[in-house]
A = this chain, B = another copy of it.
Amino acid sequence: MKIGFLGLGQMGAPIALNLIKAGHELMVWNRSSVKTGPLIAAGARAVKDPQDCANQDVVFSILSDDQAVENIVFGAKGLLKNPRPAIHITMSTISPGLVDCMTAAHRSHGGDLVSAPVFGRPAAAQAAKLFIIAAGAENSLDRCEALFSIIGQRTIRVGAAPQAANIVKLCGNFMIMSAVESLAEAMTLAKKSGVDKKTLLKALTSTIFTAPLYETYGQILIDQSFKPAGFSAPLGLKDMKLVSQVAEINQTPMPFLGILRDHILSVIAQEGEEVDWSAIAQVVEKAAAAY
């Protein structure tokens, strides 16, 4: 399949590479062209602007925020400048409102939009072990299925409205961050009560908290390995802001969310932007004078 791929960051680059390895022909673009090097080496063709990808069968995009996505779709050199009945697969964690807006725009040009954000950190992207949360028109989802199976270990369809995938993704990120916060509070309590973090973590993960995320983040919290960031605090803040926006539009009070936002603001204030979002654990420890 002829595929356009926009965004070659920590997540995009390994996903694109997996598509190439599977035999697909890729046309790639990144805001800073420096990152296209390894993809060209692997056989991709770099293009100058997002619009140059518009005549592919499918265009993937995975970018950092709403503004970046707006730009590659609606911008002066965006996809809509050169529309064709292609499917745009948006994998970015962006606002459901923007997804709605993009869906309408693509359809008005005969194309379609599938929203397919993912769960998984860069290592999972490399290993093609991502979980893909997909939503959109059923026939469009069917057409993408084979591509998804190349880059992920599982695809879960969550509805016909593309924005549903983004709502699920945001809920998931909110819950991951809640899990990290609760683990951080428990570990701090344990430590100050004379039970070391490692003992606590083992007791929890070998009984009821068997999801790998507790293992992964628990180890990060024990090692305080917050730098370099796997998923940076500013990205975490961005996601919590998106959750806030959806909560506000839908008038949903979320008391845990307020705390998460505060802790991530605090960690950025104290540590700067180059730190993992799980460093909210440090905020918890400092408040207890346990750091």
Contacts and interface: CB of A to CB of B under 8 A. Distances in A.
Interface string A157-193: 0110100100110011011101101110111111011
The oligomer's copy count stands at 4
A238 to B, nearest CB: 11
B262 A253 contact: yes
Contact of A265 (B181, B204, B208, B251): B251
Contacts of A244: 244
A70 interface: no
A106 interface: no
Interface string A135-156: 0000000000000000000101
A182 B174 contact: yes
A52 to B, nearest CB: 34
Interface string A233-275: 0000100010110111111111111110111011011100000
A246 B189 contact: yes
A284 B133 CA distance: 25
Nearest to A213: B208
Nearest to A171: B186
A210 interface: yes
A131 interface: yes
B259 A203 contact: no
A84 B286 CA distance: 46
29 contacts: A158-B203, A159-B195, A167-B194, A168-B190, A168-B204, A171-B200, A171-B204, A172-B209, A174-B182, A175-B182, A178-B181, A179-B179, A189-B246, A193-B246, A193-B250, A209-B211, A209-B213, A237-B248, A241-B248, A251-B269, A253-B263, A253-B288, A255-B259, A257-B258, A258-B262, A262-B287, A266-B288, A269-B290, A283-B287
Given A175-B209, A256-B256, 18 more contacts: A96-B193, A131-B208, A154-B207, A156-B206, A172-B186, A172-B208, A182-B182, A185-B252, A250-B288, A253-B261, A253-B284, A254-B262, A255-B262, A257-B258, A258-B258, A258-B259, A259-B259, A262-B287
- 9 closest cross-chain pairs (CB), A and B: A258-B258, A178-B182, A253-B262, A131-B207, A251-B269, A192-B250, A171-B186, A269-B289, A211-B211
